[in-house]
């Protein structure tokens, strides 16, 4: 009964507060990332963020004390369903919500939680993630960026790479080697600092898709106050691993969140046409598409079941690698099929025609899905050891 | 590790099914039946009925326990895992669903007997080497009072031991479901032992006299009853195949943890680790799909057709992966009859053909999407 009341109240509130412009399908450019440098695309986008943040519903699962909604698992599900019902856009998306927030909730001091979490919830600070380095990709724990203890602060020097949106971010959560005499995994600390600090510079990397979502990030003797460490010195790897499980869940689930799920079957039919028997006039593509559609239905049910499982209070742990692997491999197939269905139309790259080659750009972008956040091969290695308990 | 959440009732059923089948009806029992040349396993029927499982999807009014398809799926997954021979799928699920959805006197007569195990009822539907339930050459003809059934049905699972057959036939343009006594004049059945050591019969009907009262359903009602029956059968067959595949996979994981070659455990080889982990992921996601399909049956959701067909199609691919990888990773020993892997592989093959393979159901999904 209580949940029914919550549903009707939520429905009425959304009806009254979600602007009409925020109930239309969104492209990648319509995402609200928040942050000091963010320029709202419309007054409605700003208003939507503000009313949702005031309600704590940008982060409905977080405790109210930290700017969240304090909703139970069932209530979160209702909120999601009611937002989907009216096609409400997510008011805010960010690495702060997906990754840093959960890590702070788990490992942060009370002071840090009260300081950083509400800023994330209100979309005031946009975070980026300083993990990979030129010499430490899949072998992330081999990172070399140093943080030298100078008494009242750490002095950070080194280089990060593949830092998503570093040029647009306000702050960074960063893995830094502060204990050079410790072993590889126990010498790392988890530091937070302002990207406007002296000594920080970024350089976007142009990708095969033409976009530059990733940067090289350089630190030259950046001063980081000592109270901006999360957890203990040397505990960084433990925090990083915890955070990575959230990142993997997010990338795995991005199937529905980040990528427009176009109707490939309908697109293929209009682009290629049907043969005399009423089937798509490309039997090989049709067969591949059939297998893909079955796999897509399958993965959607799996995400749904996983969501229910997590809302019931279970942690996914190493199984986040399973979602990441399945979700990203599936999305790569989706984008390949999409450009194959488009044929020569989807070779268009510049100009206004064919949505300026969005399908081709999405296809190329998707190649990173099984690399970023840990490669598919790393995911399979994690699963074989942590879940299947195969010998190391 | 199960990710799909179960209700208390369902958890109880899963646990008791696992326990019951492990103790006395496991793979050793299957091997003993095979050695004895017996393919009916008549002893188990009474025990399954005793626990209420033969009436698992039947409502209480028809002598069942009405626990639904999700619960039935948990039982049948264990039946698959233990390679247990029983008429659970043919009689409790296919015939049970057909009778319960058709209703009427025949349901009142036969459903309670299915639930008590006093009767086994099988579905006679396929006519060609591939499952094409919509292509029916079997006919009901003649004037009312002098009706006859004529045709040939193949791959009638449990057809050799059934007390009644539900036969799909055409009466003019109408689909008919006919309840037929296999002892009746004009019926000849040839039971066969299949590669998985199950019984499936070819049944020929030559001018078999039937009454109007033997027609369980006709026309649109029959279409609806058959659709419900096949949807239930598909999801349940997929759940049994999931049990087979999980058993094969688990034996393989164990083998990789213990078998040494080149001075190391073979599970240390990354080529095997990655293939095994991929199999694990596929099993995890197809488990969710099958559970969703079974839930959809219980909820009467609009997604039943899509989910049950996707489940059957996907499970065919994952089942093959699990059993083929199992044999390959075991190496030579995996080829021996002494190991269970070959038994899993054979059962998997049969379950793939039963009620439609991956191609058949994928084709339906493509058609539904308009291409």
Task: Please identify, among B87, B119, B151, the residue that sits at the C-terminal boundary of a domain.
Answer: B119
Is residue B176 domain-shared with residue B289, that is, in the same domain?
Answer: no
Closest residue on chain B to A385 (Cα): B273
Cβ atoms A380, B273 nearer than 8 A: yes
- Among the listed ranges A65-74, A344-353, B47-56, B140-149, which one has the minimum average pLDDT value? A344-353
- What is the CB-side half-sphere exposure of residue A176 using CA atoms within 13 A? 29
B258-313 pLDDT, tens digit per residue, is 999 999 999 999 999 999 999 999 999 999 999 999 999 999 999 999 999 999 99
Residue B185 lies in a domain: yes
| pLDDT exceeds 80 at position A27 | no
Closest residue on chain A to B362 (Cα): A290
Residue B1 lies in a domain: no
Please report, for the domain that includes residue B191, its CATH number. Answer: 2.40.110.10
Is the minimum CB–CB distance between A380 and chain B shorter than 8 Å? yes
Beta bridge partners of A189: A176
Residue B229 lies in a domain: yes
Chain B partners of A304 at a C-beta cutoff of 8 Å?
288, 292
Cβ atoms B196, B342 nearer than 8 A: no
A141-185 pLDDT, tens digit per residue, is 999 999 999 998 999 999 999 999 999 999 999 999 999 999 999
Instruction: List Cα–Cα distances, A79 to A48, A57, A87, A175, B162, in angstroms.
Output: 15, 9, 12, 35, 52
CB neighbour class for B195 (10 Å; exposed up to 12, middle 13-18, buried from 19): exposed
Residue B76 lies in a domain: yes
Is the minimum CB–CB distance between A381 and chain B shorter than 8 Å? yes
H/E run at residue B169: strand B164-171
Is the minimum CB–CB distance between A313 and chain B shorter than 8 Å? no
Handedness of CA A154, A155, A160, A166 (dihedral sign): positive
Average pLDDT of chain A is 92
Please report, for the domain that includes residue B314, its CATH number. Answer: 1.20.140.10
> Which of A266, A298, A379 is facing B289, going by the closest CB pair?
A298
| pLDDT exceeds 80 at position B44 | yes
Please report, for the domain that includes residue B16, its CATH number. Answer: 1.10.540.10
Give the pLDDT of residue B39: 79
Is the minimum CB–CB distance between B292 and chain A shorter than 8 Å? yes
Q: Which two tokens stand for residue B367?
A: 């058609």
Give the pLDDT of residue B352: 98
- Provide the 3-class DSSP secondary structure of residue A144: coil
Chain A partners of B268 at a C-beta cutoff of 8 Å?
390-392
Is residue B87 domain-shared with residue B181, that is, in the same domain?
Answer: no
Instruction: List Cα–Cα distances, B19 to A340, B47, B157, in angstroms.
Output: 50, 13, 26
Cα B242 to Cα B319: distance, rounded to the nearest angstrom: 7
Is residue B21 domain-shared with residue B90, that is, in the same domain?
Answer: yes
Is the minimum CB–CB distance between A389 and chain B shorter than 8 Å? yes
| pLDDT exceeds 80 at position A77 | yes
Is residue B59 domain-shared with residue B96, that is, in the same domain?
Answer: yes
Is residue B111 domain-shared with residue B132, that is, in the same domain?
Answer: no
Is the minimum CB–CB distance between A191 and chain B shorter than 8 Å? no
Nearest to A130 by CA among A178, A193, A185: A193
Cβ atoms B312, B237 nearer than 8 A: yes
| pLDDT exceeds 90 at position A71 | yes
Residue B144 lies in a domain: yes
Residue B112 lies in a domain: yes
Is residue B137 domain-shared with residue B84, that is, in the same domain?
Answer: no
Is residue B348 domain-shared with residue B230, that is, in the same domain?
Answer: yes
Is residue B20 domain-shared with residue B95, that is, in the same domain?
Answer: yes
Question: Distance, in angstroms, between B325 CA and closest chain A CA?
Answer: 15
Give the pLDDT of residue A244: 86
- Among the listed ranges A163-167, B173-177, B237-241, which one has the minimum average pLDDT value? A163-167
| pLDDT exceeds 90 at position B97 | yes
What is the arithmetic mean of pLDDT over B51-63? 97
A93-138 pLDDT, tens digit per residue, is 999 999 999 999 999 999 999 999 999 999 999 999 999 999 998 8
Residue B3 lies in a domain: no
Is residue B246 domain-shared with residue B269, that is, in the same domain?
Answer: yes
Q: Report the predicted TM-score, pTM, of the whole model to 2 decimal places.
A: 0.91
Please give the distance of CA A339 from its chain centroid, rounded to a whole number: 24
Nearest to B361 by CA among B285, B310, B294: B310
Q: Are residues B369 and A387, on separate chains, in Cβ contact within 8 Å?
A: no
Give the pLDDT of residue B144: 85
Cα B206 to Cα B56: distance, rounded to the nearest angstrom: 35
Cβ contacts below 8 Å, chain A against chain B, sum to: 131
Q: Which two tokens stand for residue A209?
A: 């898709």
Question: Chain A window 326-365: which residues touch B at a Cβ cutoff of 8 Å?
Answer: 326
Q: Which two tokens stand for residue A40?
A: 């709202």
What is the arithmetic mean of pLDDT over A73-100? 92
What is the arithmetic mean of pLDDT over B47-71? 96
Chain B partners of A274 at a C-beta cutoff of 8 Å?
371
| pLDDT exceeds 90 at position A247 | no
- The tally of domains found in chain B comes to 3
Torsion, Cα of B207, B213, B216, B218 (10° steps): 80
Chain A partners of B292 at a C-beta cutoff of 8 Å?
301, 304-305
A30 DSSP 8-state letter:
G
Tell which wins on pLDDT, A256 or B264. B264
Closest residue on chain B to A325 (Cα): B281
Quickly state the pLDDT bin for B249 (edges 50, 70, 90): very high
Task: Please identify, among B157, B186, B218, the residue that sits at the C-terminal boundary of a domain.
Answer: B218
Task: Please identify, among B179, B203, B218, the residue that sits at the C-terminal boundary of a domain.
Answer: B218
Nearest to B293 by CA among A264, A302, A185: A302
Q: Are residues B365 and A291, on separate chains, in Cβ contact within 8 Å?
A: no
Average pLDDT of chain B is 96
Residue-range definition of the domain harbouring residue B296: 223-368
Is residue B284 domain-shared with residue B313, that is, in the same domain?
Answer: yes
Is residue B205 domain-shared with residue B255, that is, in the same domain?
Answer: no
Give the pLDDT of residue A261: 61
Give the pLDDT of residue A257: 45
User: Helices B270-299 and A320-342 sit at what angle, rounded to 10 degrees?
Assistant: 80
What is the arithmetic mean of pLDDT over A296-320? 88
B199-228 pLDDT, tens digit per residue, is 899 999 999 999 999 999 999 999 999 999
Is the minimum CB–CB distance between A74 and chain B shorter than 8 Å? no
Quickly state the pLDDT bin for A312 (edges 50, 70, 90): confident
Is residue B83 domain-shared with residue B135, that is, in the same domain?
Answer: no
What is the arithmetic mean of pLDDT over B103-123? 97
Cα B228 to Cα B116: distance, rounded to the nearest angstrom: 23
Give pairs for B3-10: CB < 8 Å, separation 24+.
B3/A305, B3/A306, B3/A309, B3/A319, B3/B284, B3/B287, B3/B288, B4/A305, B4/A309, B4/B287, B4/B288, B4/B291, B5/A305, B5/A308, B5/A309, B5/A312, B6/B74, B9/B67, B9/B71, B10/B70, B10/B71, B10/B74
Give the pLDDT of residue A258: 45
What is the arithmetic mean of pLDDT over B310-337? 97
Chain A partners of B361 at a C-beta cutoff of 8 Å?
294
Give the pLDDT of residue A307: 85
Cβ atoms B334, A261 nearer than 8 A: no
Q: Which two tokens stand for residue B43?
A: 């002893």
Cβ atoms B276, B328 nearer than 8 A: no
Q: Which domains does chain A have, with CATH numbers?
A: 2-93 (1.10.540), 127-234 (2.40.110.10), 259-387 (1.20.140.10)
ipTM above 0.85, yes or no: yes
Cα A386 to Cα A319: distance, rounded to the nearest angstrom: 9
> Which of B256, B288, B313 is facing A305, going by the closest CB pair?
B288
Residue B2 lies in a domain: no
Quickly state the pLDDT bin for A252 (edges 50, 70, 90): low
């Amino acid at each position: 009964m209580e949940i029914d009341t919550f549903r009707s109240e939520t429905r009425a509130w959304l009806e009254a507060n979600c602007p009409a412009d925020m109930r239309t399908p969104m492209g990648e450019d319509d995402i609200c990332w928040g942050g000091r440098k963010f320029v709202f695309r419309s007054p409605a986008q700003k208003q939507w963020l503000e009313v949702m943040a005031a309600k704590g519903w940008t982060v409905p699962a977080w405790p109210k004390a930290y700017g969240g909604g304090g909703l139970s698992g069932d209530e979160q599900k209702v909120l999601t369903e009611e937002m989907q019902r009216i096609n409400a856009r997510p008011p805010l998306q960010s690495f702060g919500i997906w990754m840093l927030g959960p890590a702070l909730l788990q490992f942060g001091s009370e002071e840090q939680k009260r300081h950083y979490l509400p800023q994330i919830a209100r979309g005031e600070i946009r975070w980026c993630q300083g993990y990979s380095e030129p010499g430490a990709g899949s072998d992330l724990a081999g990172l070399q960026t140093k943080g030298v203890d100078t008494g009242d602060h750490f002095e950070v020097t080194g280089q990060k790479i593949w830092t998503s949106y570093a040029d647009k971010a306000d702050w960074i959560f960063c893995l830094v080697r502060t204990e050079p005499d410790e072993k590889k995994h126990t010498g790392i600390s988890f530091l937070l600092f302002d990207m406007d600090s002296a000594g920080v510079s970024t350089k976007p990397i142009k990708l095969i898709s033409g976009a530059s979502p990733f940067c090289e990030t350089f630190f030259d003797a950046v001063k980081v106050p000592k109270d901006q460490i999360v957890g203990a010195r040397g505990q960084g790897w433990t925090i990083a691993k915890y955070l990575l499980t959230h990142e993997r869940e997010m990338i795995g689930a991005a199937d529905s969140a980040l990528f427009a799920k176009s109707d490939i079957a309908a697109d293929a039919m209009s682009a290629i046409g049907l043969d005399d028997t009423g089937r798509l006039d490309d039997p090989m593509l049709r067969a591949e598409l059939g297998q893909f559609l079955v796999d897509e239905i399958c993965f959607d049910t799996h995400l749904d079941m996983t969501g229910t499982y997590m809302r019931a209070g279970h942690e996914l742990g190493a199984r986040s690698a399973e979602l990441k692997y399945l979700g990203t491999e599936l999305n790569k197939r989706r984008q390949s099929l999409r450009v194959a269905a488009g044929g020569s139309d989807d070779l268009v790259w510049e100009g206004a025609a064919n949505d300026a080659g969005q399908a081709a750009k999405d296809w190329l972008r998707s190649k990173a899905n099984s690399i970023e956040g840990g490669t598919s091969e790393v995911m399979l290695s994690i699963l074989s050891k942590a879940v299947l308990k195969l010998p190391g | 590790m199960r990710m799909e959440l179960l209700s208390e009732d369902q958890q109880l059923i899963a646990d008791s099914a696992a326990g019951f089948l492990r103790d006395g009806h496991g793979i050793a029992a299957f091997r003993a039946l095979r050695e004895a040349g017996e393919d009916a396993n008549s002893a188990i029927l009474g025990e399954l009925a005793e626990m209420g499982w033969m009436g698992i999807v039947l409502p209480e009014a028809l002598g069942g326990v009405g626990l639904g398809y999700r619960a039935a799926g948990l039982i049948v997954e264990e039946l698959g895992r233990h390679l247990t021979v029983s008429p659970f799928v043919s009689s409790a699920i296919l015939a049970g669903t057909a009778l319960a959805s058709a209703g009427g006197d025949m349901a009142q007569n036969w459903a309670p007997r299915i639930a008590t195990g006093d009767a086994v009822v099988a579905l006679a539907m396929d006519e060609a080497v591939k499952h094409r339930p919509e292509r029916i050459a079997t006919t009901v003809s003649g004037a009312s009072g002098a009706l006859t059934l004529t045709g040939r049905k193949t791959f009638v699972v449990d057809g050799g031991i059934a007390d009644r057959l539900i036969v799909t036939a055409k009466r003019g343009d109408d689909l008919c479901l006919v309840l037929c006594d296999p002892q009746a004049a004009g019926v000849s059945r040839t039971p066969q032992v299949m590669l998985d050591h199950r019984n499936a019969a070819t049944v020929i009907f030559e001018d078999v006299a039937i009454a109007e009262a033997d027609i369980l359903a006709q026309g649109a009602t029959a279409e609806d009853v058959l659709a419900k029956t096949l949807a239930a059968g598909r999801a349940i067959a997929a759940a049994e195949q999931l049990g087979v595949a999980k058993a094969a996979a688990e034996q393989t994981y164990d083998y990789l943890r213990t078998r040494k070659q080149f001075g190391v455990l073979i599970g240390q080889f990354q080529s095997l680790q990655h293939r095994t982990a991929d199999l694990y992921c596929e099993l995890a996601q197809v488990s969710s799909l099958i559970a969703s399909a079974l839930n959809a049956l219980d909820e009467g959701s609009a997604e039943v057709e899509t989910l049950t067909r996707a489940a059957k199609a996907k499970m065919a691919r994952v089942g093959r992966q699990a059993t083929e990888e199992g044999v390959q990773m075991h190496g030579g020993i995996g080829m021996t009859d002494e190991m269970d892997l070959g038994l899993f592989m054979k059962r998997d093959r049969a379950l793939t053909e039963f009620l439609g393979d991956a191609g058949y159901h994928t084709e339906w999904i493509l058609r539904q999407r308009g291409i």
